[in-house]
A and B are shown apart, each in its own frame.
Chain A
Amino acid sequence: MSHEQPQERPQDRPLTRWQRFKDNDIIWSFLHSPGAMIAAAITVFSILACLFAPLIAPFDPFDPSQISLWDGKLPPAWVEGGQPQYLLGTDNQGRDMLSTILYGGRLSILVGLAAVCLGMVLGVTLGVISGYVGGVTDAVIMRIADVQLTIPGILLAILINGIGRAFLPLELRQEFAVYVVIIAIGLTDWPQFARVARGATMVEANKEYVQAARIIGLPAWLIMVRHVLPNTLRPVLVIATIGLALAIIAEATLSFLGQGIPPTTPSLGTLIRVGNEYLFSGLWWITFFPAIALVVLVFAVNLLGDWMRDALNPKLR
């Protein structure tokens, strides 16, 4: 039955945009998948909480006037010795954990998003050109991607990041660390996007609607932008979601290794690195809460990506 055409539905008027949106199989699947909805809720919630950190955080961890070393190393409020104004306790410098986590998460998400966007724009552009033009262009682009894929992403990110830092004069390193990390992760990401976009492009380019556009006489760039690109975006979107989770992990890993965001404006990874030094002395909350925040964030994004991959795969529906 599945390979036969669906029965025609009687339709008098074209559907409105909203009806079409609601009728869309992916939206339908989303509204019937509790996991996906929870994941989306957590993701949206975390992103909002972090973006609006300056508004909702009880303290500003970067304002020296609000920090006092006397309040350092306080446990969470419900543990003996904790103070009510510091819900999740304080770190070694006396900064409120909840506030630093919100600010840190904000940085982690922004870096992840920026890195994925960089990788996606670069990879999709090269991938679509590679798949559509073919020939020598394709061979060169894909060989470069292959060689880059020979070296694991995280290693390459460490390397690019290290080189980027080496080029910067010492006094600028801290200031530009965020951009170096974004570029390092973005540059390691592009081959994935390029491969997926190229594969999808080659499938689409062989379809007859592209041939029809060529016969109409449209120039190649217009066919790529108007016809091919929109039809390759589905798989790219899946990769981008999973890529966001990986980018957040990559940033945290770099920062944990001391290669990423400096402790003055900490990201979640930096917080975990700093806290790790106090783990053996029993100050577990300095590591624990940032780690939980990171895992929940990444898990939600992964859950969303996982659902999206299944929903967009017509074979499994």
Chain B
Amino acid sequence: MFFFILKRLAQSVLVMAIVSAVSFSLFNFVGDPVNNMVGQDATREQRLEIREQLGLDDPVLTQYSRFLGNMLQGDFGLSYRIKRPVDQLIFERLPATLELVFVSAIIALVVGIGLGVYTGIRRKSWISRGILSVSLVGVSLPTFIIGIALIYIFAVHLRWLPSSGRSGTVDLGWWKTSLLTVDGWRAIILPAITLSLFQLTLILRLVRAEMLEVMQTDFIKFARARGLSERAINFRHALRNTLVPVITIIGLNIGGLIAFSVITETVFQWPGTGLMFIQAVDFVDVPIMAAYLVFVALLFVLINLVVDILYFVVDPRIRLGN
């Protein structure tokens, strides 16, 4: 157990090292950092001074280690555009993104797994076929189109829900949440559905496919030959074996939610980190881009770690070895 986790940790560190190297090279190779700091019309002396300040004349390895040291303290420097520390900016906007992702993940997992199991068991029923056809449409709908459609229907046409922004937040001191007020929920519901729909259909289709796969195995046939009930076969034997591959994909999918939050936040003008990132890309605001990259990679690494531990719990073949 200990070595298993240790090995995964080592892998995570490797991933973070590579990602940080990439984001470091973003700083050095994308655009001219001095130009970005002072603008086009600065004097030669000003430029040299800034070069000196930033340590741009040091050897690359020294610069990288300095970057790593700062990164570990959460220091990514000042935003080129807003001129404020990047870590502050991210932490201000983090609750909005995390809450959106959290609500979407719950919707995607509960509905996705539920419908996946249903369509996996009742393979031949018309409801299953209907769900399956609709799910294929779901996979084909780009997130931004879902968002636009929901806004048009529920905000513009029916006027039931707000079309953009986050409202009704309550400041808990260290966290601004919108999950405690009705207004907050009204604002989050459309973006959350938009974000979850694509992942929901993916999970649904995956769970169903895995169910069908497991149903073909010998141990299911043997369970039938022992006369076990359909219920026992479906849930005790098939579903649990389905979970092993499903857990991996779900881990990836939650990562997908974070990625697509960029698009959802843009459509709904949701004040999260994704919106900040896309604006930063527009202006080549490298410190924010780099910080966001590291931050997303860190979230992913954490999710993968949790997935690995779940594996360990679910599958005795990994837990107990051979």
Please report A residues at the B interface, Cβ cutoff 8 Å: 143, 146-147, 149-155, 158-159, 162-163, 166-167, 245, 249, 252-253, 256-259, 272, 276, 279-280, 284, 287, 291, 294-295, 298-299, 302-303, 306, 315-316
The 8 Å CB contact of A150, one of B142, B152, B300, is B300
**B111 contacts partner chain A, Cβ-Cβ < 8 Å:** no
| B96 interfacial contact with A, CB 8 Å | no
Query: Which residues of B sit under 8 angstroms from A306, Cβ to Cβ?
Result: 136
- Cβ of B18 within 8 Å of any chain A Cβ, yes or no, is yes
CB pair B142–A155 under 8 Å, yes or no, is no
Complex Cα spacing A245 to B277, Å = 25
Q: With A155-B259, A162-B289, A299-B136 in contact, is A253–B144 under 8 Å at CB?
A: yes
B299: nearest residue on chain A (CB-CB)? A150
Please state if B301 and A150 are interface contacts (CB–CB under 8 Å): yes
Task: Jot down 13 A-B pairs with beta carbons below 8 A, ordered by A.
Answer: A152-B258, A152-B260, A154-B262, A155-B259, A162-B281, A256-B142, A257-B144, A257-B263, A276-B148, A279-B151, A280-B156, A291-B145, A302-B140
Q: Which of B265-301 contact A (CB under 8 A)?
A: 266, 277-278, 281-282, 284, 289, 293, 296-297, 300-301
What residue in chain A is nearest B216 (Cβ atoms)? A315
B interface residues, how many (CB within 8 angstroms): 46
Chain B residues 130 to 159 lying within 8 A of chain A, measured CB to CB, are 136-137, 139-145, 148-149, 151-152, 156
A272 near B145 (CB under 8 angstroms)? yes
Q: In the complex, which of the residues A143, A146, A258 contacts B282, with contact meaning CB atoms closer than 8 Å? A: A258
- Give complex CA distance A153, B301 in Å: 15
Is B246 an interface residue when CB atoms closer than 8 A count as contact?
Answer: no
Contact yes or no, A253 B212, CB < 8 A: no
Q: How far in angstroms is the closest Cβ of chain A from B132?
A: 9
A-B contact count (CB 8 A): 107
Contact of A155 among B212, B262, B266 (CB under 8 A): B262
Given contacts A158-B278, A279-B148, A315-B216, contact A303 B31 (CB under 8 A): no
Q: How far is the CA of A303 from the CA of B134 in the complex (A)?
A: 11
Q: Given the complex, which residues of B lie within 8 Å of A166, measured CB to CB?
A: 30-31, 284
**A167 to B, closest residue via Cβ:** B30
Q: Max chain A CB contacts within 10 Å: which of B15, B266, B277, B301?
A: B15
Q: Chain A residues near B281 (CB, 8 Å)?
A: 158-159, 162, 259
Q: List the A residue with the shortest CB-CB distance to B259.
A: A152
Interface string of B192-214 (1 = CB under 8 A from A): 00000000000000000000110
A295–B263 Cα distance when bound, in Å, is: 17
Closest 8 A/B residue pairs (Cβ): A152-B259, A299-B140, A162-B281, A298-B140, A155-B259, A249-B142, A166-B284, A150-B300
Q: Contacting B296 at CB < 8 Å: which of A151, A153, A249? A: A151
Q: Which residues of A contact B284 (CB under 8 A)?
A: 162, 166
Determine the distance from Cα of A281 to Cα of B228 in the docked complex, in whole angstroms: 62
Q: Are B262 and A158 in contact (CB under 8 A)?
A: yes
Q: Confirm or deny: B255 has a beta carbon within 8 angstroms of a beta carbon on chain A.
A: yes
CB pair B148 A291 closer than 8 Å? yes
Q: Could you say which residues of chain A place their CB within 8 Å of the CB of B137?
A: 295, 299
Query: Can you name the residue of chain A whose Cβ is closest to the Cβ of B26?
Result: A163
- Our pick among A257, A287, A299, A315 for the contact of B148 (Cβ within 8 Å) is A287
The interface residues of chain B lying within 8 Å CB-to-CB of A150 are 15, 19, 255, 297, 300-301, 304
Nearest-CB distance from B147 to chain A (Å)? 10
B26 CB to closest chain A CB (Å) equals 7
B136:A298 contact, CB within 8 angstroms: no
Per the bound structure, the CA–CA distance linking A188 and B281 in Å amounts to 17
What residues on B are CB-neighbors of A159 within 8 Å?
A: 281, 289, 293
Q: Is the CB of A147 within 8 A of B15?
A: yes
Whether the pair A143, B14 counts as a contact (CB closer than 8 A) is: yes
A53 to chain B, nearest CB (A): 21
A114 to B172 alpha-carbon distance, docked (Å): 50
Excluding A166-B31, A272-B144, 7 further A-B contacts by CB distance (< 8 Å) are A149-B252, A150-B301, A158-B277, A159-B281, A252-B144, A279-B152, A316-B212
Specify which chain A residues have a CB less than 8 angstroms from the CB of B77 in the assembled complex: none
Expressed in whole angstroms, the minimum distance between the Cβ of B143 and any Cβ of chain A is 7
Given contacts A152-B255, A154-B262, A257-B278, contact A163 B140 (CB under 8 A): no
Pick the contact of A302: B136, B149, B152 (CB < 8 A). Answer: B136
Interchain nearest-CB distance for A215 vs B (Å)? 32
Chain B residues in 8 Å Cβ range of A146: 11, 15
**B142 near A294: Cβ-Cβ < 8 Å:** yes
Roughly how many angstroms separate A162 CA and B290 CA in the complex, as a whole number?
A: 12
Chain A residues positioned under 8 Å from B304 (CB to CB): 150
Chain A residues whose CB sits within 8 angstroms of the CB of B263 once the complex forms: 154, 253, 256-257
* Chain A, Cβ-Cβ closest to B285: A162
Q: Hey, which chain A residues are within 8 Å of B216, CB to CB? A: 315
The chain A residue sitting closest to B142, CB to CB, is A249
* A154-B263, A159-B293, A163-B26 known; A302 vs B19 contact (CB < 8 Å): no
Residues of B within 8 A of A163 (CB): 26, 30
Chain A residues contacting B139 (CB-CB under 8 Å) are 245, 302
